Amino acid sequence: MESSSENRPAIQLHNVSYTLPNGQALLQNLNLAAQRGETLVLLGRSGSGKTTTLRLINRLLIPNAGEVLVNGSNVVQGDVIRLRRSIGYVIQDVGLFPHFNIEKNIGIVPQIEGWDAGRIHARVEELLHLVGLESSIASRYPHQLSGGQRQRVGVARALAADPEILLMDEPFGAVDAITRDQLQREFLSLQQRLNKTVIFVTHDLREALRLGTRIALMENGRLVTVLSPGDFLRSMDPLASAYVKAFGESLTSVANRGGA
């Protein structure tokens, strides 16, 4: 029993379709599974259905067809609040509560879960340290932090109740290149220690190659292919090679301009 639950993918999507009320199909017949402890990157252009896929997993959206399983159970059947509290969620705009200080922001899920104040405080300290922030930041408010600091707080908040699964929607999309590089490096070392199942949405191939255990390439609401970063670079798939080509050309053109 134990081993079967260990081997089961943490997240499975079977023939999932999602259509807007106006009839526009955002996702068609998606089949995808995330293994325990892996970072599965959803790569694609805007409108490809990455974010929709993410929001189906924590039931911010409900599929029109097919089923979404988290730890083997259909998300539509269980308690939605329990489901969401067991999944960390990080979005590009972070969405910190502007009227709460950082400690209250990070401790929100533990607080509504009824942890006592001492335990929340200790957990917030631990998390701030984990994401590389000073504990003195705890009493500050979101508007007093830099973009990179806010992103770290967003990650700390998602980790607060120690969820097994983390959903990250372009979490490093709104920060400058140097901060992004630093956040990606920290993400990798964090993931090595924590071994969460992460679904990571991005449109940046470089980020996908660097962070992903596997990369799921999406286009127009469909899954094109799922490949490891190494296979992705060698892929014959027209869309995947188009990504690699565009990425390579951007490097070459920058290098050429530097040489001229």
Partner 1 sequence: MNIVHYFLQHHQEILELTLEHLWLVGISTLLAVAIGIPLGIFSAHRPGWNRPILGSANIIQTIPSLALFGFLLPVPWIGARADRLAILALTLYALLPVIRNTYTGIRGVDRSVLEAGRGMGLTDRQLLFQVELPLATSVILSGVRVAVVVSVGLATIAAAIGAGGLGEFIFRGLAMVNNDLILAGAIPAAVLALSADFALGGLERWLRPR
Catalog residues that contact partner 1 under the rule CB under 8 A. Answer: 55, 58, 60, 80-85, 89, 91-99, 108-109, 112, 141, 143, 154, 157-158, 167
**Residue 196 CB, nearest approach to partner 1 (Å):** 15
Count of Cβ atoms closer than 10 Å to residue 186 Cβ = 15
- What is the closest distance, in whole angstroms, from the C-beta atom of residue 161 to partner 1 in the complex? 9
Cα separation, 215 vs 82, in Å, equals: 28
Q: d(Cα 212, Cα 229) in Å, to the nearest integer?
A: 7
Q: How far is the CB of 221 from partner 1 (least distance, A)?
A: 21
Alpha helices by DSSP H, listed for the chain, are 2-7, 50-57, 80-85, 102-106, 108-112, 117-130, 147-159, 177-194, 205-211, 229-234, 238-259
**Distance (Å, whole) CA 131 – CA 153:** 8
> Rounded to an integer, what distance in angstroms lies between the CA atom of residue 78 and that of residue 182?
38
CA distances for 203 relative to 117, 129, 152, 182, 218, angstroms: 40, 29, 20, 18, 10
Residue 203: CB minimum distance to partner 1, A: 18
Residue 98 CB, nearest approach to partner 1 (Å): 6
> Which of residues 108 and 244 has its CB atom nearest to partner 1 in the complex?
108
Which is nearer to partner 1, 128 or 167 (by Cβ)? 167
With respect to partner 1, which residue has the nearer C-beta, 112 or 188?
Answer: 112
Minimum Å gap between C-beta 217 and partner 1 is 24
The DSSP annotation for 162-229 comes to --SEEEEESTTTTS-HHHHHHHHHHHHHHHHHH--EEEEEES-HHHHHHH-SEEEEEETTEEEEEE-H
Which CB, 169 or 207, lies closer to partner 1?
169
In DSSP terms, which residues pair with 214 in a beta bridge? Answer: 40
Q: Which residue number, 124 or 226, has a Cβ lying nearer to partner 1?
A: 124
Nearer to partner 1, 158 or 209 (CB): 158
Q: How far is the CB of 174 from partner 1 (least distance, A)?
A: 11
Q: Note the residue count of the chain.
A: 260
| Nearer Cβ to partner 1 (75/217) | 75
User: What's the rounded Cα separation, in Å, for the pair 67 and 83?
Assistant: 15
